[in-house]
């Protein structure tokens, strides 16, 4: 499986993401610049964390108008897995691929620590190797991770099982303890915690690896050649 790691000016978790895919997962990864306009050669799209365009105006607000985002939207429409982590999540929200918006953390602190997440939906293409209700340990590092949406959107998220991860102990004030959500179709996941930083015991946790393995497993199953 071939992953594109999108690099915006100001991305800073792109190397971690690349490492997670190539070294921990053992799949193919390639950096793709923000000014590229075609992602047809890739099976999965990864939007890494960082501070794209300095987070000017709002986090992700400028990045969403990068040429590559048109290609990301096309890939999402084609049903390819699209994962946005941290700043990548913020970009997915700004681009309208996911509903809602980010506010500054309620406690005003930049939170940088490993947190416990609950897997709320283990039937997505990103989480099928986890158990429903399982607690996993993944690091967060953000100043604007306070997810917000209106009551109507929240109801829809709940009804459709779009809330994938919640915080056990909410570090940022996000509505309904939301840490990660998928789109209605289930192929676009945005999450504030960094699974790419939890792929080997040396990093303190391996709990993020199953997320990437789930993507690969589901991709292999849907692309299996019928002999």
Partner 1 sequence: MYKVKVYVTLRERVLDPQGAAIKQSLEHLGYREVKEVRAGKFLELLVEPSGRDLDAIIQEVCGRVLANPVIEDYRYEIEECVAP
Quick one: which of 94, 120, 196, 207 contacts partner 1 (CB under 8 A)?
94
Instruction: Provide the H-helix boundaries in the chain.
Output: 14-19, 67-77, 87-94, 151-159, 209-222
Q: Phi/psi at 159 (nearest 5 deg)?
A: -60, -40
Of 106 and 112, which has the nearer Cβ to partner 1? 106
CB 163 within 8 A of CB 178: yes
Of 26 and 107, which has the nearer Cβ to partner 1? 107
Which segment (36-44, 53-61, 119-127, 156-164) binds partner 1 by CB under 8 A?
53-61
Which segment (4-12, 33-41, 102-110, 155-163) binds partner 1 by CB under 8 A?
102-110
Per DSSP, the residues of 166-190 read EESS-SS--GGGEEEEE-TTS-EEE
The contact pattern for partner 1, residues 125-164, with x = CB under 8 A and - = no contact, is: ---------------------x-xxx--------------
Active site residue 196: yes
Q: Phi/psi at 59 (nearest 5 deg)?
A: -60, 125
Length of the chain, please? 227
Active site residue 194: yes
Residue 29, number of CB atoms within 10 A of its CB: 22
Minimal distance, residue 93 CB to partner 1, in Å: 8
Q: Give Cα 112 to chain centroid, integer Å.
A: 17
Binding site for partner 1 (CB under 8 A): 57-58, 61, 65, 93-94, 99-101, 103-108, 146, 148-150, 173
**Which positions are catalytic?**
86, 194, 196
């Amino acid at each position: 499986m071939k992953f594109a790691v999108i690099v915006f000016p100001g991305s800073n978790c792109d190397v971690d993401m690349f490492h997670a895919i190539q070294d921990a997962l053992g799949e193919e990864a390639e950096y793709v610049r923000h000014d590229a306009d075609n992602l047809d050669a890739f099976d999965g799209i990864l939007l890494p964390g960082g501070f794209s365009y300095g987070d000017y105006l709002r986090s992700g607000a400028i990045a969403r108008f990068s040429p590559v985002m048109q290609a990301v939207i096309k890939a999402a429409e084609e049903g390819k897995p699209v994962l946005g982590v941290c700043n990548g999540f913020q970009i997915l929200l700004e681009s309208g691929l996911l509903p809602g918006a980010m506010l500054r953390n309620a406690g005003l602190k930049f939170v940088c620590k490993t947190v416990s997440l609950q897997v709320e939906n283990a039937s997505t293409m990103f989480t099928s190797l986890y158990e429903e209700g399982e607690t996993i340990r993944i690091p967060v590092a953000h100043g604007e991770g306070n997810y917000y949406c209106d009551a109507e959107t929240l109801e829809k998220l709940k009804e459709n099982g779009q809330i994938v991860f919640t915080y056990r102990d909410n570090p940022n004030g996000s509505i309904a303890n939301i840490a990660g959500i998928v789109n209605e179709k289930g192929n676009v996941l945005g999450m504030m915690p960094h699974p790419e930083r939890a792929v080997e015991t040396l990093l303190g946790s391996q709990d993020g690896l199953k997320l990437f393995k789930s993507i690969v497993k589901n991709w292999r199953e849907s692309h299996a050649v019928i002999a």
